[in-house]
Structure 1
Amino acid sequence: MAPVISLLRNVWDPVANRLERFIRKVAAELPIDNDWSQSVKGSWYVHPRQHAIEIVFLSSAFASAASYFFMRALGPDTLNFKLLTSFVPTAPASWTEKLLLGSLIGSLSLTLTHKLIRGTGLFMLQPCHMGALLLISVMSAPEKLVSKILFNIYLHTQWGGYAALAFPDLRGHDLFLETFNFFAEHALILIAPIYMIYSGRYLVLPASPNMALLSFFVYGFFHSPLLHVCALRSGLNLNYLFAPPPIKILIKLGPFYRPAMYGTALVAMFATRYLLVGGVMSMLPRKSLYF
């Protein structure tokens, strides 16, 4: 057994060293010690070699799994595909829906303004901001196939909005209306889907493990490599890819907090769609409101 382990190390170590050197070369200048008083700038709280391993292996796994479960969940022979291609919104948008859309646009615009003032525009790639943009796109063109797919993926990932409200990270918030808009935006991205379900204008696919896993792997691929590469190049702690939020249990996990966050996200995908969205659908009538 020992000779086999030694052989594997001899093969792996040069590869890992090369990956680590590449990450150090392409990444921004980062300090070793993390500054816990702020949430913007990154650090080597997680070793560069771990970053390299995650980008190579997680990115490959997320891409492969997302492709596989896309066909399982939405392939041409599936019930979901038939529903997606046959569903057409039966009524125009109500004033309530237009108000929600306008509120989302206004809140996201204010968020963008705050980010630009701080010089941290890349933070618009945070999942919750991207969720707001996704909802705006879907509500602007609900008849499009891509809108129907994205809405159903979002129904699995909106747990992030609940997490942000439960554990708000307000470090550095000092601009006018910044804190207010933080809560307003996250409330809107949770309220809007409820109304969208209520209106009956948006297709909600049946809950299924394949759709939940597709949503998770799309979410994972967005983080690695897309968000991860942006974080490394900019040196910004985008969605805590460099260091965790100030939550005790995550800090106790040290550099291995990210696998725990991915695991939590996987469980949350199922819980959100089956329990929260399923509960909403069981209680709400499917009828448009007008006033």
Structure 2
Amino acid sequence: MKRIRFFSGMLASVLCAACLAGGMTGCVPEHPDDPAGDNGDTAGEAGILNNLVKNFWQSDKMYEESVLFVAQTDAQGNVVSAPQAKLLFPAEEILELKQYRPDSDEPVVYAEGEDFTCSGNTLAAIGTLQEVSGETVFSGRIPYVTDKALTGEMSFPGVPDSKTVPSKQTPGLYLPFTEGTGIVAMQCTVSYRHAGTWSGTVPACYADGALKKTVEKLKNGDPVELFVWGDSISTGANSSSVLNMAPHLPTWPELLSENLSSWFGAEVRLTNKAVGGWSSDNGVAGG
């Protein structure tokens, strides 16, 4: 049986997942239809899983990109402009902007022109500035946080203690952190079409043809074992299935193994030994 080992930090986990589930074309260029290629939209649960592991750097469509609307404030913490969110690519067409909430399995869907506008890669919430208890806030349908909430200068909505993770770059500032729905519930997801070009990092195996034997085993229907070491991201912390909130998607190791198994018709056995708080040093030391 073929065993694949992954140790992942926050970025590494995303790239490794894309490398195997999203990089089969690069590892096996002759394979015409890969599990991460833009093979068109598929209905139902299988379609959702397929869309989430597509090579976003190759596609002209982004699925469920997470964004956080942030409002700029003055020195006193008063909101001075409409909250904005940035997309990876300049959007040509917004397909859907929605928000998942812990109290409902039905997402809140926001309408372009009524709840938000889009210009290039910038989304802006529609609403008004209002005075509430001596402070200026923004009133609109889309949830937002302030720029100072991101640095610990103001409280982050739904996060009891915003000063648990000190910033390494700027002494006196903090990064909001919580294991729970607090931060997740403030985010929205965006699906859109674009004509942009990705100039960032691409998984190494996508370019150098690594994992060729593994792909051959999958294509032959042979069983493959997927072994994961990693940190809290790989344990599934704050994923919707672990938080028991919509859309109840699997953790990324489960998403990876399920997609590979479904696409190739091969058994993919997942062993996840990730531990929250681990770093690359733990992986090098063998745990």
- TM-score computed with the length of structure 1 as normaliser: 0.24
Q: Which has the higher helix share?
A: 1
The answer to which structure has the higher strand fraction is 2
Normalised by the length of structure 2, the TM-score is 0.24
